[in-house]
Structure 1
Amino acid sequence: MRTLCSSTLIGEFFVIGFAGLVAMKDDALAMSTVWWVCGTAMVLSVLLCGMITRPGGVQLGWVLQVGLIASGFFVPVMFVLGAAFAVLWWCSVHYGRKVDEIKAGWAASQAAQASAGPDAA
């Protein structure tokens, strides 16, 4: 799960940065506010890469996804990109857990086979 989720979060890091560049062109938004919000979200996305397997990591990732979608009120294309990354996040968590279960089952069968000895084959 960690690899899939981290890949999604790194992709979001870049999308958030590019969205900040787009938001900078809006005269109604202060540049310092844009970069404070985008910078915080970018740092959060990188920190989440290391926290994903810890308690609350996945939930914090969902908070980031909601924030990405909500940023569409300032940069309209972010409604689409935020929704796309929310789907990617769901897929990363869902299929990542399945892969982890398969790996654990395979490791358990290998350990059982190794403990049975070479004659058990």
Structure 2
Amino acid sequence: MRTLCSSTLIGEVFIIGFAGLVAMKDDDLSMSTVWTVSGVAMFLCLVLCGLVTRPGGVALGWALQIALIASGFIVPTMFFLGAIFAALWWASVHYGRKIDEAKARFAAGQADQPDAA
């Protein structure tokens, strides 16, 4: 699960950075506000890459997905991109857990078999 979720989060780092560039064109927002919010969000994505397998890591990931969708109120394209990444996050968590279970079953099966040496 860690690999799939981390890949999704790394993709989000780039999307948040590009959304920050687009948000800079809004005259109502100061550049420092845009980059503070974008920088914190990108940093959280990177930190979450290491915390995704810990308790609450997936929930924090969902909170980040909601925030990404909500950023569509500033950059409207983010409604679409946020929904896409929320779907990717769901797939990463869902299929990542299935892969982890399959790996555990395979490892248990290997441990039960005697060496054929």
TM range (shorter): over 0.9
Instruction: Give the corresponding residue for 2:10.
Output: 10
Task: Give the aligned length.
Answer: 117
In 2, Cα distance between the equivalents of 1:75 and 1:84?
15
Give the C-alpha shift of residue 31 in structure 1. Answer: 1.1
Give the C-alpha shift of residue 58 in structure 1. Answer: 0.5
SS in 2 for 1:64: helix
- Equivalent residues in 2 for 1:1-121, closer than 5 Å: 1-114=1-114, 117-118=115-116
Structure 1 runs not aligned, ≥5 long: none
In 1, Cα distance between the equivalents of 2:90 and 2:58?
10
**Paired residue type of 2:22:** V
- Report Cα offsets for 1:36-57 as digits up to 9, x if no partner: 1100000000000011111111
Q: Which has the larger radius of gyration?
A: 1
Give the C-alpha shift of residue 13 in structure 1. Answer: 0.2
In 2, Cα distance between the equivalents of 1:8 and 1:118?
40
In 1, Cα distance between the equivalents of 2:86 and 2:30?
27
Give the C-alpha shift of residue 89 in structure 1. Answer: 0.1
Runs (4+) off by over 6 Å: none
Normalised TM-score (structure 1): 0.94
Normalised TM-score (structure 2): 0.97
Give the C-alpha shift of residue 118 in structure 1. Answer: 3.5
**Paired residue type of 1:83:** A
